[in-house]
Amino acid sequence: MSNQPKVILSAFADEAANRKTAVEQMAVLAGLGLKYYSPRFVDVTGSGEVKHVVDLSEDEYAELVKLHEEYGMQVASIGSRLGKVKLLDVDDGSHNVYVDPDEYLAGEVQATINAAQKLGARLIRGFSFYHPQTEKPHGYVDQAVERLKPIVEAFQQAGIIYALEVEANLIGQNGHLLAELAQKVNSPNMVLIFDGGNLSCQNLSPVECFAEYEAMRDYIGWIHIKDYQMDPTLEWTGVVDEERLKNFVPANMGDSGHEAIFRDLAKHLPEITDRLQKMGVPGFFTELEPHLKGGGQFGGFSGPDGMGVAVRALCELLDYTHIDYDLRNMSDITKARGF
């Protein structure tokens, strides 16, 4: 038995499906050897109607659970859109919307909790709200904390862990700001998600990406695997036009510096994994969200072929940095056959 630290592989299944059908999503990921995934956009019945996972009907949740059993898949996290709304009701020239906090708690937050409970998820991916885009995010941390606290409390009461993903244009657009949010929310039920591609697309160098990872490392609950090659023709204004991002690449082929990050992560994985398992999570997830054929504000696409490239690149990176992982093997197939 290997003494190397270990992660669990997962992926956003909608990135792997040309038509977003649940059957296609399950089949592609199972065929690539994955056992976990995060649902986001899905056509459960094959009718052609794609919905966000928190908007599914009770019958659609039940059908999705049946497909999980059929394909041997489990849900790692719910790929929610929580926190991708304005913090304040001000006109800043962006197309982002504002939702009243009480309305948000009763609506989107409760719908996300319901999705997690129906699908057996212990983790929720969320975001840290949009500050006025004409201003810097630093002055809005305390107001974001006040919006976050009741959301985190609602998930804690439901036995679900809430995580903030680092992403451009939001208050938590880098590791230092996310760490400050985590410190001030001060809840064991909130963790952070590192995503290298969401930093390098802000024109941060590999060294800068590592510094942001290091700043948030004590609060990391899992990692999204995305990489990006910086665009030298981009005139950096401090705001990312998410619809023009086109330089996403497989892990460790861009400017996020994944090798250095994973070598450091390997040293801390045992203690992080122990903390997560005490919270009821099976382990530390490395979750593919590669965007190899395009990405935008609320999702991305890689196709079945792109997801295959992304999985192999991640496995090569993990092998190179001496971190273990599992793919499906003959024993999994034997169990599925009932032997």
Among the residue ranges 55-59, 76-80, 91-95, the one predicted with the least confidence is 91-95
The CA distance from 217 to 191, in Å, is 10
Mean pLDDT of 120-147: 97
Q: Which residue ranges make up each domain of the chain?
A: 8-336
Sort strands 8-11 and 248-249 into parallel, antiparallel or unpaired. Answer: unpaired
Q: What is the pLDDT of residue 105?
A: 98
| DSSP notation for 12-58 | BGGGG-SS-BHHHHHHHHHHTT--EEB--EEBSSSSS--EEGGG--H
Q: Kindly list the distances between the CA atom of residue 243 and the CA atoms of 11, 168, 295, in Å, as whole numbers in the listed order.
A: 22, 12, 7
pLDDT of residue 1 exceeding 70: no
Over residues 198-213, the mean pLDDT reads 95
- pLDDT of 246 reads 82
Q: What is the pLDDT of residues 48-75, one digit of tens each?
A: 999 999 999 999 999 999 999 999 999 9
Q: 258 and 251 in contact (C-beta within 8 Å)?
A: yes
Over residues 187-203, the mean pLDDT reads 96
The predicted pLDDT at position 294 comes to 80
* pLDDT tier at 147, thresholds 50, 70, 90: very high
Q: What is the average pLDDT across 146-159?
A: 98
Dump pLDDT digits (tens) for 270-319: 999 999 999 999 999 999 999 999 876 667 899 999 999 999 999 999 99
Three-state SS letters, 197-266: HHHHCCCCCHHHHHHHHHHHHHHEEEEEECEECCCCCCCCCCCCCHHHCCCEECCCCCCCCHHHHHHHHH
Helix, strand, coil distribution of the chain in percent, nearest 5: 45, 15, 40
Report strand pairing: 41-42 vs 51-52: antiparallel
Contacts 24+ apart (CB under 8 A), 54-63: 54/78, 54/80, 54/81, 54/108, 54/111, 54/112, 54/114, 54/115, 55/111, 56/115, 56/118, 58/118, 61/115, 61/118, 61/119, 63/22
> Whole-angstrom Cα distance, residue 337 to residue 250?
34
- The region of weakest confidence among 109-118, 122-131, 304-313, 325-334 is 325-334
Topology of domain 8-336 in CATH is TIM Barrel (3.20.20)
